Every structure is written in structure tokens, then in C-alpha cells.
Amino acid sequence: MTDSELMQLSEQVGQALKAQGATVSTAESCTGGWIAKVLTDIAGSSAWFERGFVTYSNEAKSQMIGVSEATLAEHGAVSEPVVVEMAVGALRAARATYAISVSGVAGPDGGSAEKARRNGVVWRGLRQRAGDHAAGMFRRRPRVGAPSGHGLRPAAPLATISTKHLILYEHTV
């Protein structure tokens, strides 16, 4: 996805949110705030973007948005239960209508042998205040030698596309 296409997609998300009188918040780990950045690059986003949480460490996930330490210990930070709790916590802390969450293994270097094996695995979660939620995993293999996180840049478009779908086609607000 090109930068221009991502901007257009972000504008569509903003228009849909504005039409509903709804807001969105983000809870990001591996993307380090990039989803919030692409959404807030849109003029007028203050009408529909509530806030973003960058929860790179497990401690931040627990302290900022209430992800259970037990869930982190049992499933690991890169898991469906964690992204669901991240989205729920973002809604609780921000009072937004929708929350986007993402956690993944950025790679290509660093971390444990388990993390190296899972390079490019990303979980994303979506939650609506009404209780509807979706979570899913996609895998993106980072390019060797790319800066940390470069291979996960598609996480932002995927989360944005998923949010657009939730808002336009599955909302119950």
C-alpha cells in the first residue's frame, strides 16, 4: 500500500467515524504509535481520534491499559488474548467508541530465539464499545537488514482497513 493510498484509507475511516459521531483510540506495541500517526495526519482528526497508547513493554501494557499480567505470562505479548485485552483497556481508559490494538514481533534481530522464530507475526484486535470484537493474526516476514519495524509497516494499513470495515459494515452503535 502506498502512502497516498494509506492517507486515503485514513480519510475514509475519519469520514465514517465523523458520520457516526464516533471516536477511535489505539493501543500499539510493535508499531510504536504509527497507526495513531497515520490517523492523526488527517486534517480534522481531532473530531474523531480520541488518543493513542504506545505500550511497547509488557509493563506498559499492564500499567497503561490494564492488560493482565497473568494473560501476558500465559499467552505472551504477541497473542490474541493480549490484543483483545489491549483493545478493551484502550476503550476503558479513553472512552472511545472503537479501539484498534496491535502487538507483534518486529525483528529481524534481537530478542529471544522464540521471537526470532516468530519474526513478522502480528496480532491485531478491534473492539467496539458495544462489545463487538474481532481479533486476527497475519504474518509478514521482515526484510533482512531492514530497520527494526520496517517489515511491520503493513500492520498499520491492515489495522486501518479492519477498522474501516468494522465501522462501515459491522457497527451496532
Structure letter (DSSP) for residue 108: S
Highest mean pLDDT among 39-43, 60-64, 149-153: 60-64
CA distance 65 to 86: 6
- CA nearest neighbour of 163 among 20, 34, 10: 10
CATH class of 3-169: alpha beta
Q: What is the pLDDT of residue 172?
A: 39
Please indicate whether residue 149 or residue 1 has the higher confidence score (pLDDT): 1
Q: What are the phi and psi torsion angles at 134 (to 5°)?
A: -145, 145
Compare 24 and 1 and report the one with higher pLDDT: 24
Q: pLDDT confidence of 144, banded at 50, 70, 90?
A: very low
Give the DSSP letter string of 24-47: EEEEESTTTTHHHHHHHTSTTGGG
C-alpha cell at 9: 484509507
Averaged confidence pLDDT in the chain? 79
> Does the pLDDT value for residue 63 go beyond 90?
yes
134: pLDDT strictly greater than 70: no
Q: Which of 5-19, 61-75, 123-137, 145-159 has the lowest mean pLDDT?
A: 145-159
Could you say which DSSP state residue 143 is in?
A: P
Domain ranges of the chain: 3-169
Q: Is the pLDDT of residue 32 over 60?
A: yes
Report pLDDT for 85: 94
**Tens-place pLDDT, residues 65-113:** 999 999 999 999 999 899 999 999 999 999 899 888 989 886 665 556 5
